[in-house]
Amino acid sequence: MTEFVIMGLLPNIASDLLPALSATSQEDALSQAGWLISLYALGVVIGAPTIAGFVARYPRHRVMIVLALALTVFNALTVVLPTFELVGISRFLAGLPHGAYFGIGALVAADVMGPGNRAKGVAFILTGLTVANVVGVPLGTYLGQEFGWRAAFAVVAFVFAVATLCITFFVPKHPGEPGRTMRQELGVFRIRQVWFTLGVGAIGFGGFFAVYSYIAPLVTEVAGSPEWVVPIVLVLMGLGMTAGNLVGGHLADIDLRRTLLFGLAAMAVVFALLAVLSFWIVSLSLIVLIVGFVSSVLSPTIQTRLMDVAGDNQSIAAAMNHSALNIGNSLGAFLGGVVIALGWSYTAPAWTGAALALAGLLIALLSYRVEARRPAAPVLVAS
C-alpha cells in the first residue's frame, strides 16, 4: 500500500502540492507529481542492497521489526510535511527500508517452505503486496479522494505500526548469517546472471509501472468515467495481481524459464490491448484485470530466478529484486510521464509499457543463451 496507493491519487496530490502548475497545465502537474513515485523507487534502489548487505549477519526477525518501525515513521512524515519538496524527501526515506524488508521476509518464507517450494514461499510473501491492491490501495484511494490524499498515508503509517507489533509477537526467531560481511554480500555484483536478472526486473517489469502509475487519468480522461470508478478499477487490478502471484509461484516451481519468457511476452500483448481498448470502461476494466494477473505471474518468478543465480549471496539478492522492480517503477513512471507531457495522450504509457516488456523479454532470452554456453554454479538454498 505504501508504494502503490499514490498512483491512484496523483491528480489529487498534483492539485494540492502543485496548485499553480496544475491550474496552467494538468499534464505537466501530473508528470511532476509522478516524481514522488520515482523518489520512493530511488530510495528502494539505494536502500535495498545497502541495508540487506549490512544486516545479513543479524537475526532476521529482529531486522524485520526495525525495518517495519522505520517504515512507520517515514510514512507518518508524508502525512505531516507541508510542501512538495519535503513530501518528496519523505517518500525517498520511506523507500530506503522497503527492499530489505520484503527481501528478508521472502528468505524466511522460502526457508520455511523448503526445497522445491521456494517460489511458493516467495509468492506467499508477495501476496501481501497483491492483497494490498485489492483492499488497501482502493480504500486508500477512496479516502484520499474524500478526505484528502494525506488520509491515505495516515492509514499506511497505522498499518505499519500494527505490522511492527505483529512481527514482534508472531514471527518466529530466525537466525541470520553471523559469518557474513558486507564485502562478501557485495560479491553478488560479480555474477553476470545477476545483472541479467536485474535487467529483466528493471526494464521488463518497468512496463507494468508505466501503466499503473497513470491508471487514474486513463479511467477518467480516456474512458470518460467519474473519479469514483478509479478505486473499482484498482480493485480489479488487485484481484488480478493476487491470482497471478499465486499462479506464478506455482508455475515458477514447475518451469521457471518458460514462466519468465511467456510472462514477459504476454505482458507486452496485454499492454498493447489496453492501449487499443481503453476508450470503453468495460473493456478497460477487463484488460486491467488481465494486466494485473499477467504482471504478477512475473513477480515471484523474477525473485526466484535472482535467488537461483546469486549463489550464497542470498540476503542481498533477495533485497535487490526489489531494487530492480523499483528501478522499473521509477523508469516506468518517468517514461509514462514523459509521453503524456509530450502530448501523446493518456494511452501512450500503455504503448511504452509494451515496449519495455519486449525489451525485458530480449534481456531474458540473452540471459538464458549466455547461461547455456557456460554452466551455472550450483544453487545454494538459504539456511
Would you say 293 and 244 are in contact if contact means Cβ atoms under 8 Å apart? Answer: yes
pLDDT above 70 for 65 = yes
Residue 253 pLDDT = 82
Would you say 2 and 94 are in contact if contact means Cβ atoms under 8 Å apart? Answer: yes
Residue 25 pLDDT = 76
Of residues 252 and 112, more confidence is placed in 252
Range with the largest mean pLDDT of 12-16, 278-282, 360-364: 360-364
> Per-residue pLDDT tens for 148-189?
889 999 999 999 999 999 988 888 777 766 766 677 777 777
pLDDT above 80 for 88 = yes
Of residues 249 and 95, more confidence is placed in 95
CATH level 2 (architecture), domain 5-373: Up-down Bundle (1.20)
Residue 314 pLDDT = 67
Band of residue 128 on the pLDDT scale cut at 50, 70, 90: confident
Distance (Å, whole) CA 367 – CA 197: 8
pLDDT above 80 for 236 = yes
Residue 89 pLDDT = 92
Contacts of 279 (CB under 8 A, 6+ apart): 222, 223
> Per-residue pLDDT tens for 17-45?
888 877 787 777 887 787 888 788 888 88
**Which residue, 167, 325, 175, is CA-closest to 245?**
325
Residue 383 pLDDT = 42
Range with the largest mean pLDDT of 233-237, 267-271, 309-313: 267-271
How much is the average pLDDT of 58-65?
86
Quick one: angle between helices 84-95 and 60-80, nearest 10?
170
Number of Cβ atoms within 10 Å of the Cβ of 227: 15
Of residues 54 and 195, more confidence is placed in 195
What are the sequence ranges of the domains in the chain?
5-373
Alpha carbon distances (Å) from 261 to 9, 186, 265, 296: 33, 28, 6, 14
pLDDT above 80 for 382 = no
Residue 360 pLDDT = 92
Is the pTM value of this prediction over 0.85?
no
How much is the average pLDDT of 92-101?
90
Band of residue 375 on the pLDDT scale cut at 50, 70, 90: low
Residue 118 pLDDT = 67
Residue 137 pLDDT = 78
Distance (Å, whole) CA 379 – CA 376: 8
Band of residue 381 on the pLDDT scale cut at 50, 70, 90: very low
What percent of the chain shows pLDDT beyond 90? 22
Question: Look-up: residue for cell 515471484?
Answer: 300
Would you say 332 and 208 are in contact if contact means Cβ atoms under 8 Å apart? Answer: yes
